[in-house]
Amino acid sequence: MEKKLIEYDRCFLKEGVDGIIGVDDVGLGCVFGSIVTCAVILDLTFEGTELEKIHVADSKSLTRSERERAIPRLEKFIKAKAFGIVDATELNSLKLSGMNLDVMAKLARERAVKKIYQTNYVVLVDGIRDSYVINKTLVDTVKVKKITGTDETPSASIAVASVFAKVYRDSLMKMYHKMFPEYNLEEGMGYGTPEHLRAVKKYGITPLHRFWYKNIREYAK
């Protein structure tokens, strides 16, 4: 991990906050399965360079094996972590009630943050749209810093949350692969890959598919 990511987070401590919660989520663009958010509190008081030696960046830039190898090494630097999940059944129900994907993502974030939030902590969230932070009920009581306009997060806490969220959701997809092997979820991880869409066309959809996605509706006819 680059030292500048760690120093970015430490700057907030100098501004008088007691700690930082880094938040990131995965699965928003999938056609199958849950949205998973991870919230992480890193111990930023450590000395030495051990954390810098762990290969960590945004989870999308790491291979699956790199993410999995990083997890046990990162654990010793984590004071608290929690997951917020909105599963596919709930996503489908929320969509029927008129809720959009942005609000669904906020719900997962809120569930994760509430589990570990402490007074005078700042929540760091990646996002590029004003509506894409956390639900207002939580924002009213939590200091939120939205990081925008960058391809890569400048925050160590968000980078670590990203890795944990991805590994956790991947484990769910491996489990679902055993239930629905036709869709090769172990490899495609619930994204709308050509292989996955061919399987939908051949076998139809499961209760864990997001039925409102256009490419799922088309192939499910």
In angstroms, rounded to a whole number, what is the distance separating the alpha carbons of residues 107 and 121?
19
Question: What is residue 139's predicted lDDT score, i.e. its pLDDT?
Answer: 47
User: 105 is written with which tokens?
Assistant: 């993502």
As given in the structure block, the two tokens for residue 27 are 């699965």
Q: How many CA atoms lie within 13 A of 209 on its CB side?
A: 22
Helix (H) or strand (E) holding 78: strand 78-86
Concatenate the DSSP letters of all residues of 83-151 into one string.
EEEE-HHHHHHHHHTT--HHHHHHHHHHHHHHHH--TTEEEEEE-SSTT-S--HHHHTTSEEEEE-S-S
Q: What is the pLDDT of residue 136?
A: 44
pLDDT in tens, the chain (221 residues): 678 888 888 888 888 888 889 999 999 989 999 999 999 999 888 776 777 777 676 556 677 788 888 888 899 899 999 999 999 999 999 988 888 888 888 899 989 999 998 888 888 887 644 333 444 445 444 555 555 445 566 888 999 999 999 999 999 999 999 999 999 999 999 999 999 999 999 999 999 999 888 888 777 65
Token pair listed for 149: 């306009």
Indicate the pairing of strand 78-86 with strand 35-42: antiparallel
Q: At what angle do helices 156-179 and 64-75 cross, to 10 degrees?
A: 120
Q: What is the pLDDT of residue 81?
A: 97
Domains of the chain in start order, with CATH, are 3-172 (3.30.420.10)
pLDDT at 151: 53
Give me the pLDDT at residue 129, please: 43
Q: Quote the pTM value.
A: 0.85
Whether 129 and 102 have beta carbons less than 8 Å apart is answered as yes
Residue closest to 176 by CA, chosen among 196, 155, 190, 157: 190
